Amino acid sequence: MSTDPSASRRKAPIERAAEIARAAREIALDEGLSALTLRAVASRIGVTPALVSHYQPSMDSLVASTFGAIVAAEIGEVAEELALCETAVAALQTLIDTLLGPERSTVTAVWLDAWSLGRRHPALAVEVGVQMDAWQAFLAVLLNTGCARGEFRAIDPDAVAWQLLAIIDGLNAHAIVRYGHAQRLRGLVRTVAEHELGLRSGALGPGDDSGRRPEPDHPPAPITVPVC
């Protein structure tokens, strides 16, 4: 690796820190959290490992913050998609389709890395908990909003949020190692969600994931799910 010492001096500290953080996210998404090392980041941006260490003295902290940034971005992207939905039912349809779609496989792989590596890295384990709570809170807002509007019926929407996320995570984990096909099993998640939320069968789409989803029964005002 060739580096240009003058290039490292030309950038302001805030710019260099942002560059390191961006490179860390790219490595995690391209190669996994386990590939996120001091040398890998330095090579990615063309500087010495010592310079990276100056800005990020703890790689454990960098791995944790990188994971957190990736998941926070994912929640933001999903929130933008749901903002286009006019009903809570439509928003839940979109969320299920999105989270079990192949375009999310890179983030799913990062999640799997984090759950595994978190056993030995306390900072990452803490961040995993923070982001799991963030996802549950995000989905719980959607479910509680649907209950308030009369679209859903559930005794404990917060618990249903955990249940649905657990199923989605499990199916995605299977798909990552090519056991089953998460996209084809979206009907399973829809069926469970319909049962837990008091919806008619097929309200969230076909149970076998074939054909088009039915249109909502009634179109109330657009729904917005805040990013936690």
Domains in the chain: boundaries = 1-57, 59-228
CATH number for the region 1-57 comes to: 1.10.10
For residue 151, count other CB atoms closer than 10 A to its CB.
Answer: 24
- DSSP per-residue string spanning 68-79: HHHHHHHHHHHH
**Mean local confidence (pLDDT), 23-35:** 97
Of 130 and 102, which is predicted with more confidence? 130
What span, in angstroms and rounded, lies between the C-alpha atoms of 60 and 48?
A: 19
DSSP string, 83-130: TT-SSHHHHHHHHHHHHTSGGGHHHHHHHHHHHHHTTT-HHHHHHHHH
Give residue-wise pLDDT tens across range 120-142.
Answer: 999 999 999 999 999 999 999 99
Q: From CA 172, how far away is CA 180, in angstroms rounded?
A: 9
| Maximum Cα–Cα distance across the chain | 65
Structure-token match 């330095």, residue found: 42
9 pLDDT tier (thresholds 50, 70, 90):
low
Pairwise pLDDT comparison (11 vs 158), residue with the higher score: 158
Q: Is CATH 3.10.150.10 correct for 59-228?
A: no
pLDDT over 90 at 50, yes or no: yes
For 3, 143, 147, 176, the CA distances from 228, given in Å and listed in that order, are 40, 15, 19, 27
- Asked whether the CA dihedral 135, 189, 85, 111 is positive or negative, the reply is positive
The candidate with the shortest Cα–Cα distance to 172, out of 61, 97, 116, is 97
Q: Which residues contact 86 (CB under 8 A, 6 or more apart)?
A: 216, 219, 220, 221, 222, 223
CA 167/CA 228 separation, integer angstroms: 22
Length of the chain: 228
**pLDDT (0 to 100) of residue 76:** 97
pLDDT of 186 reads: 87
> Is the model's pLDDT at 212 over the cut of 60?
no
Question: What's the CA gap between 184 and 61, in Å, rounded?
Answer: 37
